[in-house]
């Protein structure tokens, strides 16, 4: 019933939203945070399980978690991440955003980065790939649930980097 | 439904005026922008193209209206895009610090564990209106400042702010209305300083108002253990486990909390206490 009302509301709102697209010069075509499959960088064997008309749900909408929580993720990184002296000038927040599918597999990784003051920043690519490689070895993801069935979702990990070391992992 | 039809009608009228431009005053545009923002809030999925179009339109119609700027930041920050999130949030704060500075401090604290950045924003926010009780995203700023200091491992200052919050809140509405985790975190600050008897008072307070609080049982058990009362420690640690497993612990679907408690923390402590028992 709730869905039906939402649909009716949207049909009524459609002309209004179109008008808004005109005012806003039609800037946005996708949801914020959406990841589209890119054949040049994404693993072709990684598949999402379902089709989503609007967008994959976010982890907090469906309860996607890692077994043992951030404590377990931090332990994983503390065992595998080896700091390099050449990275000692690196400071900022590096986010790795990805998809956890309904089987707990991950793919479609993307980077988002800022300085510690949230300004534009680009980490050195080798450093990013080092963190990505470890992120890919996290293999205890528990997919979120939608209508009590495992579903695909977006998830991210944000690394707070101080002088090339992982100072914290969020969220 | 009627509200939506009415809004559509109002929008059509107003938008025709916008197109005509000459006859439309800025204040009319801003009223319309406010309606678009409300519509976005009520009827769209956060971060969707529809949501973005409504917010972008509101900003175009009334560039001095800060709320849609802040609202645009939310979807970015929730998806880990803190560069774009802060681009919009900083604009909102610049335009209307009293409305948005506290929220920015809260975001820095809870979503980024940027304790120094959060402290700076929260203190500035406090000074903007020094005579009023200040809340940032629904939480008292002294409670949040206590968390900033706890995160910086400045336990004395953390205790100072938690005490200040507890005193103010108790005087305002009574002790039973205090956020119970103020007692827990004040206890943790004392525990970290090894002031076990003081810390214990806070954990007892927490249990007095929230008898299932797994964190209070857990830290109370550790204090009992460290002060040589292993048998009582064991009882409290099992109570922590029982209540944790029943879901009575601090958690948030977006992020983990400072000093987040895990079941593994409790089971490891039970093992430690049991080993001591057998010696």
Model confidence pLDDT, tens digit, residues A41-50? 999 999 999 8
Question: Residue A22: is its pLDDT beyond 90?
Answer: no
Q: Which long-range contacts link B95-101 to residues 24+ away (Cβ below 8 Å)? A: B95/B64, B95/B66, B95/B69, B96/B66, B97/B124, B97/B125, B97/B128, B98/B125, B98/B128, B98/B129, B99/B66, B99/B67, B99/B70, B100/B66, B100/B70, B101/B125, B101/B128
The pLDDT score that the predictor gives to residue A19 is 58
Residues of chain A with pLDDT > 90: what percent?
Answer: 79
Residues with pLDDT less than 50, chain B: 1-2, 4-6, 9-10, 13-14, 17-18, 20-23
Using a CB–CB cutoff of 8 Å, tell me whether B105 touches chain A. Answer: no
Model confidence at A10, pLDDT cuts 50, 70, 90, reads very low
Cα torsion through B263, B269, B273, B275, rounded to 10 = 100
pLDDT tens column, B224-276 = 999 999 999 999 999 999 999 999 999 999 999 999 999 999 999 999 998 87
B positions 194-253 inside 8 Å of A (CB)? 253
More confident of the two residues A7 and A157 = A157
Question: End-to-end CA distance of chain A, in Å?
Answer: 34
* Inter-CA distances, B67 with A17, A71, B34, B44, Å: 19, 36, 9, 16
pLDDT of amino acid A89 = 96
Among candidate residues B176, B175, B225, the one with its CA nearest the CA of residue B200: B225
Per-residue tokens: B210: 């929230």
What's the CA gap between B5 and A164, in Å, rounded? 55
**Confidence band, pLDDT 50/70/90 cuts, at residue A1:** very low
**Cβ-contact A63, A145 below 8 angstroms:** yes
Cross-chain CB nearest to B80 (options A12, A25, A97): A97
Over residues A54-69, mean pLDDT: 95
CB distance B47–A118 less than 8 Å? Answer: no
pLDDT at B278: 56
Q: B210: which DSSP letter?
A: -
Quote the pLDDT of residue A12.
Answer: 54
pLDDT at A51: 84
- Nearest CB neighbour to A9, from listed B4, B53, B75: B4
B160 touches chain A (CB under 8 A): no
Q: What is the mean pLDDT of residues A28-37?
A: 90
Q: How far is B255 from chain A (nearest CA, A)?
A: 4
The whole-chain average pLDDT of chain A stands at 89
Place of tokens 């108790």: B170
**pLDDT at residue number A6:** 41
């Amino acid at each position: 019933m709730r869905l039906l009302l939402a649909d009716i509301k949207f049909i009524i709102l459609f002309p209004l939203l179109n008008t808004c697209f005109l005012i806003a010069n039609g800037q946005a075509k996708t949801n914020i945070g959406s990841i589209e499959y890119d054949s040049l960088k994404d693993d072709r064997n990684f598949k999402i399980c379902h089709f989503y008309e609007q967008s994959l749900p976010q982890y907090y909408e469906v309860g996607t978690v890692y077994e043992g929580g951030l404590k377990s993720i931090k332990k994983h990184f503390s065992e595998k991440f080896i700091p390099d002296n050449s990275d000692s000038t690196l400071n900022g927040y590096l986010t790795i955003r990805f998809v956890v599918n309904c089987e707990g597999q991950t793919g479609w990784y993307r980077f988002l980065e800022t300085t510690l003051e949230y300004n534009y920043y680009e980490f050195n690519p080798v450093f990013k790939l080092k963190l990505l490689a470890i992120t890919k070895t996290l293999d205890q993801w528990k997919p979120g649930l939608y209508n009590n069935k495992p579903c695909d979702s977006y998830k991210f990990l944000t690394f707070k980097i101080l002088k090339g070391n992982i100072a914290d992992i969020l969220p | 439904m009627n509200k939506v039809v009415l809004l559509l009608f109002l929008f059509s009228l107003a938008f025709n005026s916008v197109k005509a431009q000459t006859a439309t005053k800025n204040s009319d545009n801003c009223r319309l922008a406010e309606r678009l923002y409300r519509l976005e809030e009520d009827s769209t999925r956060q971060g969707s193209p529809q949501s973005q179009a409504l917010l972008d339109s509101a900003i175009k119609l009334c560039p001095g209206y800060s709320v849609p700027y802040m609202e645009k930041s939310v979807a970015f920050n929730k998806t880990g895009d803190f560069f774009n999130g802060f681009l919009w949030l900083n604009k909102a704060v610049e335009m209307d610090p009293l409305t948005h500075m506290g929220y920015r401090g809260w975001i820095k604290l809870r979503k980024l564990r940027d304790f120094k950045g959060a402290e700076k924003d929260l203190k500035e926010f406090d000074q903007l209106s020094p005579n009023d009780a200040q809340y940032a995203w629904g939480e008292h700023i002294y409670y949040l400042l206590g968390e900033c200091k706890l995160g910086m491992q400045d336990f004395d200052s953390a205790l100072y702010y938690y005490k200040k919050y507890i005193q103010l809140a108790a005087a305002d509405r009574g002790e039973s209305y205090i956020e119970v985790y103020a007692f827990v975190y004040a206890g943790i600050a004392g525990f970290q300083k090894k002031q076990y008897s003081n810390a214990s008072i806070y954990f007892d307070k927490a249990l007095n108002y929230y008898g299932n609080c797994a964190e209070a049982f857990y830290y109370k058990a550790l204090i009992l253990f460290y002060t040589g009362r292993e048998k009582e420690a064991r009882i409290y640690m099992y109570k922590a486990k029982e209540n944790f497993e029943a879901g009575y612990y601090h958690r948030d679907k977006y992020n983990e909390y400072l000093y987040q408690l895990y079941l593994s923390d409790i089971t490891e402590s039970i093992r430690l206490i049991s080993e001591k028992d057998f010696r």
